Amino acid sequence: MKFLNRKITALALGVLMVFTATGLAGCGTSIAERRTDTTSTLYVGEISSAFPTSFMPWLSRDGVATTVSSLIYNTLFNFDEETGEYLPLLGKEWCYTDLEGNELRTPDGDVDYRAVEEYYSQTKEDYMLVKVTLHDGMTWSDGEPVTVEDVYYTFDIATDNALSNHAGALAWTADLQHKSEKGKLVKQGMFTYDHNDFWNPYPISEAEKDTVIYLRVNKVLGAVATLFTSILILPEHIWKPLVSETEQLNNASPSGEILYQYENPVGCGAWTLDKSRSGRQMIVLCNRGDDYHLKAEDGSPLYKVDEIKLMLYMDENTAIYALLKGYVDMLDTSMSSNYLRLFEEEENIEVLNVPGTSIQTLVMNVNPQENFETDMRKILTNKEVREAIALAINQGELVNRVLNGAGSVASAGLMLESQTELYSEEANILSGDYDERVQQANEILDKIYPEKNADGYRLADGKKIRFEILANAGELELVSFLQVQLQKIGIEVEYKAEGSMAEDTYLFDGDFDMTFQATIFNISNVDIMYQSHFVTTERSSNYGHLVDEALTAKIAEMRTTLNQDKKYEAVKEIEMMIAELYYKVPVYASNVISVARTDRFIGYQAGPGETAFNLDTLENLEKVV
């Protein structure tokens, strides 16, 4: 699990707003509390317009609620992007089995993908069987035991939109062959000691009744990814008595007991919410310590701080000032590289500058809907035009000028080189000498739109070719540099503010010329994310409504192969197809930059894509004596 890193608006260096005590206070707490605090309490600055007071259990976009929920609750496993392995959380271990429940493992105990392929390529059933074993002795924060029945209930309600009212849950469970409707089981695809197959029960002993569950999943090697790492497990004893068709789990107007549970969450994670000390300006989380099932190697509590206090700041300047003055230990945000010089000579400040896991792309509207069709958008349906635009983008300059060097160029295949088993060098087709690329781009456009006006901009039917880039204020500098680069091929682009609800107002409907979008692809998510970005056209990440039959077929082939090597090769072929469509064109891969103070704690850590506020940091912090 990784904490959500939210991009913030880049501000000019040295402009620090004067703040008031009211702006920094939280729930009656003195703004200088940290300066005199000798306890093991970590103060974390959060930038937001407001803090939530209730926490719907599943991950949402409600700012810090995502971070808090992921600390109070747990998923089954945590995916390690560097190793490609699922690390234990509530789940202790997992494996594929044959249809009778016999484990398909290597002699070393790992998943035997060769055996999985050989066995399931010969079975007539359209599913594979996965066995998950939970840790023994886990408890919810109210003392009740955590069992596989909680997992069963969670996945079951995730498939039942009438009860959950959570569209994301349907996507998370799309490859689980289980379905409920209005609380009634339609198709059983999960099996525990108490919910076993009546005719052919799976091998679960009485001693394993609380810890073993079998899942029937589609014949997709990535089918387990969202089941393991996206769904926070819920306490059945809390939610089953409360949830109904009229009182849904994801409730827009919660009242009574449901509202109470939102505000007083009972979780299985390492942290609990201290409701009495939390409010709209501060959230207090307490370490469960020995009560949490995961421990450090020496048997001590896994996490090294007793409390986390999340402090609300309304803007970046105030938050940075608070960090510099010692009111917080760190900021839970990825900062603009413009701030790097600000911290260079500061004492007791550590800057963590690590590679990101996402690639920022320029998305072009390649398939405008009839009611949003314009003359300019019709031009973008021509792949040769898009190719010329892609060739004119100088990623190296953007990295140096926009990111101040805190980033790297990215492949047109949209896979990072760090994904060594998946990355295709052949798909990196936008590299090479920049001047030669600009010449090639002009040669392409000279054949299509040879006419230019007095300013050197190309004309289409007598009109200047001009596109608007839908973006937020923090991307204004990026648009400015793209204006200069695309001017070299006679294309004009201008900034258009996206507003606060861009997806609903522009992007899902395809009412835009171009926009920016971050893409993150790895072995754990390609089965779902490739479809979302390049196949699905209804309210998905496929903003430009790309429809390409060959790419769709190759993605389906990649999803359904049971040969891991063939799957990786198919991903590389898909990268090449993505690159040659010039639909989502990379502009750069930015680093993640975060800052923390070292006068109370040391031992901050950040892996790829992480800020300093993450689980590795919480495991390794040491109190400065």
- The domain that holds 33 is classified in CATH as 3.40.190.10
pLDDT at residue 281 above 80? yes
Banded model confidence at residue 575, pLDDT cuts 50, 70, 90: very high
Distance CA 171, CA 116 (A): 25
pLDDT at residue 178 above 70? yes
Do 219 and 311 lie in a common domain? no
Mean of the pLDDT values across residues 94-121?
95
Banded model confidence at residue 33, pLDDT cuts 50, 70, 90: confident
Cβ atoms of 493 and 457 closer than 8 Å: no
Distance CA 497, CA 476 (A): 9
pLDDT given at position 54: 83
Q: Within a domain: residue 411? A: yes
Total domains, the chain? 3
Mean of the pLDDT values across residues 84-106?
95
pLDDT at residue 5 above 80? no
Do 322 and 378 lie in a common domain? no
Q: Tell me which of 46-60, 141-155, 341-355 is least confident.
A: 46-60
pLDDT given at position 62: 61
Mean of the pLDDT values across residues 558-587?
96
Do 158 and 48 lie in a common domain? no
pLDDT at residue 8 above 50? no
Do 315 and 382 lie in a common domain? no
Q: Within a domain: residue 260? A: no
Dihedrals φ, ψ of 505, to 5°? -90, -30
pLDDT, the chain, mean? 91
Banded model confidence at residue 337, pLDDT cuts 50, 70, 90: confident
Q: Within a domain: residue 1? A: no
For residue 368, the SS3 value is: coil
pLDDT at residue 521 above 70? yes
Q: Tell me which of 27-41, 590-604, 609-623 is least confident.
A: 27-41
Query: Which is higher by pLDDT, 501 or 201?
Result: 201
Banded model confidence at residue 504, pLDDT cuts 50, 70, 90: confident
What domain range includes position 431? 359-590
pLDDT at residue 206 above 50? yes
Do 366 and 331 lie in a common domain? no
Do 347 and 445 lie in a common domain? no
Percent above pLDDT 70 for the chain: 94
Banded model confidence at residue 225, pLDDT cuts 50, 70, 90: very high
Do 316 and 440 lie in a common domain? no
Q: Within a domain: residue 72? A: no
Residue keyed to tokens 């300047």? 317
- For 425-442, the pLDDT digits (tens) are 999 999 999 999 999 999
pLDDT at residue 340 above 90? no
Do 405 and 374 lie in a common domain? yes
pLDDT at residue 14 above 60? no
Mean of the pLDDT values across residues 611-620?
94
Do 425 and 566 lie in a common domain? yes
Q: How many residues does the chain have?
A: 625
Distance CA 451, CA 464 (A): 10
Helices 383-392 and 434-448 meet at what angle, rounded to 10?
150
Q: Within a domain: residue 12? A: no
Got the DSSP string for 495-548?
Answer: EEE--TTHIIIIITTT--SEEEEEE---TTTHHHHHHHHHT--SSSS-TT----
pLDDT at residue 516 above 80? yes
Q: What letter represents residue 565's amino acid?
A: D
| E strand residue ranges, 159-236 | 179-181, 184-187, 190-191, 212-218
Which is it for the CA torsion 382, 387, 388, 389, positive or negative? positive
- For 380-390, the pLDDT digits (tens) are 999 999 999 99
pLDDT at residue 113 above 80? yes
> Residue 451 sits in a domain of what CATH number?
3.10.105.10
Q: Within a domain: residue 409? A: yes
Q: Tell me which of 53-62, 228-237, 280-289 is least confident.
A: 53-62
pLDDT given at position 13: 25
Strand partners, 363: 515, 584
Cβ atoms of 281 and 51 closer than 8 Å: yes
Q: Which of the given ranges, 61-70, 75-84, 163-172, 458-467, has the highest pLDDT on average? A: 458-467
Q: Tell me which of 203-207, 298-302, 335-339 is least confident.
A: 335-339
Q: Within a domain: residue 582? A: yes
Q: What letter represents residue 541's amino acid?
A: S
Tokens representing residue 222 in the block = 């990535």
Do 62 and 163 lie in a common domain? no
Q: What letter represents residue 498's amino acid?
A: E
Mean of the pLDDT values across residues 118-127?
96
pLDDT at residue 117 above 80? yes
Q: Which of 195, 224, 239 is the last residue of a domain?
A: 239
Do 212 and 86 lie in a common domain? yes
Q: Within a domain: residue 192? A: yes
Mean of the pLDDT values across residues 311-340?
91
Do 334 and 438 lie in a common domain? no
> Residue 220 sits in a domain of what CATH number?
3.90.76.10
pLDDT at residue 258 above 80? yes
Residue keyed to tokens 């090769």? 569
Report the run of H or E that residue 285 belongs to, with start and end.
strand 282-287
pLDDT given at position 61: 59
pLDDT at residue 27 above 50? no
Percent above pLDDT 90 for the chain: 79
